Every structure is written in structure tokens, then in C-alpha cells.
Amino acid sequence: MGAFDDSDEAPAEVTADSAEATAPVEQPTFYPDMFTWVEGWLLPHWVRPKKNWDDKWWEYPEVLSRFEALWRAWEHLRLDGALGMSVFWRDHLETHMTSITSAEGPFYASRKVGQDGPPNPWPTSPVDRESVRIELQSE
């Protein structure tokens, strides 16, 4: 019994069957991979004026890692119809994208994108997904 448990009952025994029954069910992803998510969801939704950006974003290990984390968080939180997207924007997207596109972020030497007035989605160059996947797997 734990220090905060005022019950006199012994904890339930965990068996292989009970652990399997409570294991989370893996949901299929909406986007097949991080690259498709960046092009299909992230870039159309995250548009900010005058931020540092490189259309060859996949050449930056930090950006790849952060985008992979963002995609996985998005895939998980999209299933929470109540607060999922709010939590995603507040706790994940704002934090990572602000850091990535800041003057001190990985794109510090890249050009600023955006303009005054309604912003357009940021550009992305075609990516050789297989070669980048190989690089990700070797980390």
C-alpha cells in the first residue's frame, strides 16, 4: 500500500491477460508519415509573417526531430475531440515552431518569409523521402 492509500485492500494482481486487456489500442494515423503531415497540415496551418524558414527544412536534424514529434503529437491529440487540438497548439505547435523559426533557431541563417498583409503558406522544395528516412533510422 502507498503512503496516500487509506484502503485496507491489497492491490489487484496484474496478470498477462489483464495487462493485455488494458494495453492502449493503436490507432491508424491520418497522415502516413511526417513529410506528408508537414506538407498537408503544418505548412497550410502555420503561417506567420517575417519568420526564418528554409524550404529544404528536412536538411536540419533538429527540425526533422521536432517535426516528427509534432506529427506524432498531432496524430495522438486529434483523437481527443474535446481539447486535443487546443492542447496541441498550446503545448506543442507554438513551442516548437516559435523555436524553429526564431532568429536563434536552426534557420537563423535562412531567409525570412512572410510579408505585410495576409500571409501565404511557406514554400517547401521536393524532398527525397527515402534518403531522409534512412538518415532518421540511423540516428
For residue range 16-73, list pLDDT tens digits in order.
555 565 667 778 999 999 999 999 999 999 988 889 999 999 999 999 999 999 999 9
Total number of residues shown for the chain: 139
* 11 vs 27 pLDDT, higher one: 27
Compute the distance between CA of residue 21 and CA of residue 23 in angstroms, rounded to an integer. Answer: 6
Overall average pLDDT of the 117-139 stretch: 75
Compute the distance between CA of residue 86 and CA of residue 62 in angstroms, rounded to an integer. Answer: 24
Of 9-18, 60-69, 72-81, 105-114, the range with the lowest mean pLDDT is 9-18
| Residues 75/38, Cβ–Cβ less than 8 Å | no
Give the number of C-alpha atoms closer than 13 A to the C-alpha of residue 38, restricted to the C-beta side: 22
Query: What is the predicted pLDDT for the residue at 128?
Result: 86
Please state the domain extents for the chain: 63-113
| Residues 64/127, Cβ–Cβ less than 8 Å | no
